[in-house]
Structure 1
Amino acid sequence: MQVVATLSLKGGVGKTTVALGLAGAAQRHGVSTLVVDLDPQANATTALDPEPTTATVADVLDDPRPGVLRRAIAPSGWGEGLDVLVGAEQTERHNHPDPGIKQLHRLDRALQRLAAGAEDDGEPDGDDGDGTEDRYRLVIVDCPPSLGQLTRSALSAADRAILVADPTMFSVSGVQRAFDAVQTERERSNARLQPLGVLVNRVRPRNSEHDFRIGELRELFGPLVFNTVVPDRSAVQQAQGACLPIQSWDTPGAREVSAVFTTLLGRVLRSGRTRTAS
């Protein structure tokens, strides 16, 4: 199981769009995937249209035993192979600015209990289940746009972080803060964590301001900035409004965006094979 966090410490750049695009690409290519909606706005949950649950990710962060976890996961309305650990406004109660180690690692412990056959045996917090086989090949964690317990929990559990930016004057500081957060969490609690790269979203062709800002990002972060960018296409909002993956929205703009997420999925999966082999 590979865990990838979509991260931005600047609001409004489309990190949820990236999480959903990557999830849709994974589903299209037969990669069993779980989306974890850590953002209290729960926009990813809304767009994925899961079946009703009797628990949410907020309850899992209260008590990460397998039984609670199972009650908080539902099949996505997008179809087979994509599940949701559903978000809720109540998740905000876990967004402490300075969490303790036990609080910080509850999400990681919960994700480790996703192995097939894990039993809810009433063990106290801190003991693992008995599963031996991963249920999901990919877990995508959609983080809130702030650096509190929720984002740090995601980074403590993740193998890779996708830093999402937009081509505006504020993008450089946002990416720098996100990159620093990844490096800090790697040193504190998660040595396997690496930034996968910077993905620039909502790019318009032949826009001089966008070209300038992307060049600025490349100058500062070098090869960490992906060569491919997500174009600004109305199909993205249309698909989300219909609670459908961009991959099933049949327009030229949608196909252009889908191709970017297919490329991103390949990069994510290759990075997982590299880590496992090392």
Structure 2
Amino acid sequence: MQVVSISSLKGGVGKTSVTLGLASAALAAGIPTLVIDLDPHADATTGLGVRASGQADIGQMMKNARRADLAANVLPSGWVANAPHDGAGEPLLDVAIGSAFAGIYDRPDLGRRDLRRLSTVLANSDKNGGSPYQLVLIDCPPSLNGLTRMAWTASNRVLLVAEPGLFSVAGTQRTLRAIELFRSEFAPSLSPAGIVANRVRTGSNEHTYRLAEMAGMFGDLLLSPTIPEQANWQQIQGAAHPIHQWPGESAKNASALFDQLLSRVLKQRPTRSRNRA
């Protein structure tokens, strides 16, 4: 089971959109996947077409981590009913739902015991015959407070999302430094999965310049392909629909990019940037 945190120090860069795009690609590829919505705003939960009906949210499960029953509280994504499958069984895309309750842990002073709460929840799901998931995607809040660090503790890899803009690039550099520090103190096996340049405008001179800057700063950590700005992305998310099932050439092209990106995230070996961030 590979656990990947999708993180950004800066809000508004499309971190949840990338999470949903990767989840859509995993569903289309038939990869059994769990999305953990760790952002108290719970946008990933909404975009995945999930509504709670008595289940414990991820914050409640982390509060009682040792007794948490993940399998009993995840919900199937609303995307699954319309997903194609080969007759061997329904595709698996589950959601550990987000809520504002998780915000009780989004503070900078968490101790080691609290940092392991999400790890414990995931470990409990792996006791009886192994986890049903090959991939776990954790949608983190746009900060380096407690929830993000809980996610990093539970993860193998961290995928960073950035826009090709000055403040976002600077935030990505700071996040890479934070990962290095966190790894040395708390999570020695943690590594960057790479950096996704999101919402790229191909006709923008500023974006062209910043992409070249990112390539120089981050080297092979800057993943290909980049994700262009998607004019109908809000409509797709508002409809709680996977991009792989949305009509139109634009969505088809974006789906192919997320397929490539998912392949890179799953197969790429950790590398270091040319210039240490």
Name the structure 1 match of 2:215: 218
Tell me if 1:87 matches 2:88. Answer: no
Encode CA deviations 1:167-217: one digit per residue, 9 max, x unaligned: 112122110121112112211121211101110000111211110111111
Aligned in 2, Cα 1:132/1:184: closer, same or farther, shift over 3 Å? farther
The structure 2 residue matched to 1:110, chosen from 121, 135, 145, is: 121
Tell me the distance in 2 between the aligned counterparts of 1:239 and 1:133. Answer: 34
Alignment of 1:157-236 (within 5 A): 157-236=154-233
Residues 30 and 81, structure 1, Cα contact 8 Å, conserved in 2 = yes
Query: Which amino acid in 1 is paired with 2:42?
Result: A
Name the structure 2 match of 1:135: 132
Encode CA deviations 1:77-96: one digit per residue, 9 max, x unaligned: 01041000000011111112
Query: Which amino acid in 1 is paired with 2:104?
Result: R
SS of 1:133 mapped into structure 2 = coil
Tell me the distance in 1 between the aligned counterparts of 2:212 and 2:168. Answer: 12
TM-score, structure 1 length as denominator?
0.89
Name the structure 1 match of 2:274: none
Query: Which amino acid in 1 is paired with 2:46?
Result: T
Tell me the distance in 2 between the aligned counterparts of 1:68 and 1:168. Answer: 42
Residues 26 and 32, structure 2, Cα contact 8 Å, conserved in 1 = yes
Tell me the distance in 2 between the aligned counterparts of 1:74 and 1:113. Answer: 17
Residues 51 and 76, structure 1, Cα contact 8 Å, conserved in 2 = no
Cα root mean square deviation, aligned: 1.4
Q: Which runs of 4+ in 1 moved over 2 A?
A: 51-54, 65-72
**Displacement, 1:68?**
4.1
Name the structure 2 match of 1:266: 263
Query: Which amino acid in 2 is paired with 1:219?
Result: G
Query: Which amino acid in 1 is paired with 2:18?
Result: V
Tell me the distance in 2 between the aligned counterparts of 1:239 and 1:172. Answer: 27
SS of 1:34 mapped into structure 2 = strand
Tell me if 1:23 matches 2:58. Answer: no
Tell me the distance in 1 between the aligned counterparts of 2:68 and 2:147. Answer: 21
User: Structure 1 stretches of 5 or more lacking a match?
Assistant: 116-129, 273-278
**Displacement, 1:237?**
1.6
Encode CA deviations 1:89-120: one digit per residue, 9 max, x unaligned: 111111121101000011011112222xxxxx
**Displacement, 1:134?**
1.9
Residues 55 and 74, structure 2, Cα contact 8 Å, conserved in 1 = no
Tell me the distance in 2 between the aligned counterparts of 1:214 and 1:171. Answer: 11
* Aligned length in residues: 258
Query: Which amino acid in 1 is paired with 2:117?
Result: R
Name the structure 2 match of 1:99: 110
